[in-house]
Amino acid sequence: MSLFEETKLNIKRYLFKQKKGDNKQITYEDVRGYLLKKNYSTKQIYTKRVDEEIDKQYIKIIKGISYHSITTSSSSDDEKEEEEGEKKKKMKRKREREKEKKKKRKRERERKREREREREREKEKEKEKEKEKEKEKEKEREKEKEIKKTRKRKEIPKPRSPKKAKQETNQTKKTKPNQKPNTPKSKRKKANDDPQTRLKRLSDFVKWIGFKSFSESVKELPLKEATEALEGFLEEKEITHKALTRNRAMNIKKTLHKKNSESDSSNEFITPTRLRRRKKVNYDLDQYKLLLYTSEEEEEIIEELKKKTRIENEMKNKKINQGEKKTETETKNEKESEKENESESENEKEKKKKNKKKNKKKNKNKKKNKNESKNKNENDIKKENGNEKESESESESESESEIPLENNYYLYSTDDSDFELSGNEESGPTSNEESETTINEELKKDPKKHWIRENKVSSDSEESPESSELENKNKKNKKKYQKKKKKKKKKNQKRKKINRIHLL
């Protein structure tokens, strides 16, 4: 049965009991009255039993969009079906309740078992701890036994005579270093009798509490007035200065802090313990008084403060005036000395400027001289190298056989043009025939040295710095080439020796 049909049957019963007749149109108000009687709201009915099918007509009735007419007809078959359906529902509910009860019982049993297991585990842990304690006690007993055995093994000293014992004790007392004589109490001086020491102790104590500026300001006063001021300060706070221990002094600090907190919670008095955490602050007794006293007594304290400030300012002004009273001659001498210093400073500045200009000119001249000397040295070195190499070429040509030159060498022209072949007489160069003949004669002696040709041609033209750089590079390359040759020779010699050894 759908939800719509169930409500239809319930409405029929409702109308039959009211004796409204069988054939009557059911309005929306009748349906709503029935639902309200059963304590159902329209929204609850719409949301209830969502899994079941809900007809569109029944939804319209609940929302009040349109009316739906239902003709009532009493039938016994419908009533029987309803009774059977209700019985089945009741049986289902009972079964569900029984299942839930069984589940709860199982959960409770499992919880009890877990609790018992935890108790057993705790008992086992306690037993293990007791066993460990017993083992430790046994170890300690064994150690004590070993110590007793070692003591017995030691030689027991012989008993001394009472006379010798007294003599030894007296000697030790006399020989102790830094031992003061025991003065009787009647002859002892009290610490408070000496006024200077008393003032020092009082000032140190006030500083230690936290009023550093007050203790330093009192030092300027004479002895009697300073001691009276410090004693009065301590009497106001109900403190008696004695040979204080640390615990007593800390309690005094706490009382000061409590008085402040009772008077004004906003203006916190910074104790020395807080001072360690922050930066150092100078404490004044007058500022602390304003926190303790009431508003009526504040006026008197403010007047006292004003008087103190006036006196302090007067003292400062006197000291300043004493320092400022100088003779007129001193003031004149100072002014003259200032003017002289200014004139000297100006002269020094002008001298520095002139020296800078001179140094610049000197540096320029030095650079020019250096460059000229370098160029001269380079030219001299080139000429010397040329003469040395010519002599070497002559000596080598005598030992070696002369090589004929026909078409195997190049010649440089005086211009910066490219190289030109000059093998045959017909295809020779056109310009500077005299220079070419000299070069050919030198090449016949030593054709390997091509640098002679460059030197002869470049001697006519002016030497440039680029040519000097090229010559230096060529020298370096020659040295590298000679080193490589030497290495190759050494390697070949080693190989030959090794091969000979293998052959043997």
Question: Using an 8 Å Cβ cutoff, are 52 and 2 in contact?
Answer: yes
Q: Check pLDDT > 80 for residue 121.
A: yes
Q: What are the contacts of 409-416 at 24+ separation with CB within 8 A? A: 409/443, 409/447, 411/436, 411/439, 411/453, 412/453, 412/454, 412/457, 413/457, 414/457, 414/460, 414/461
What is the C-alpha to C-alpha distance for residues 227 and 233, in angstroms, rounded to an integer? 10
Q: Check pLDDT > 60 for residue 493.
A: yes
Query: Dihedral angle at the C-alpha atoms of 127, 132, 133, 137, nearest 10 degrees?
Result: 140
pLDDT digits (tens, 9 = 90+) for 214-226: 888 888 888 888 8
- Which pLDDT belongs to residue 145? 85
Confidence of residue 24 (pLDDT cuts 50, 70, 90): low
Distances (CA, A) of 38 to 7, 34, 495: 12, 7, 122
Which residues fall within 8 angstroms of residue 440, CB to CB, at 6 or more apart? 405
What is the C-alpha to C-alpha distance for residues 30 and 7, in angstroms, rounded to an integer? 12
pTM above 0.85, yes or no: no
Average pLDDT of the chain is: 65
What is the C-alpha to C-alpha distance for residues 440 and 405, in angstroms, rounded to an integer? 9
| Among 439, 455, 444, 445, residue whose Cα is nearest residue 392 | 445
Q: How many CB atoms lie within 10 A of CB 116?
A: 10
Which residues fall within 8 angstroms of residue 146, CB to CB, at 6 or more apart? none
- Specify the amino acid at residue 7: T
What ranges do the domains of the chain cover?
A: 3-115, 195-292, 372-477
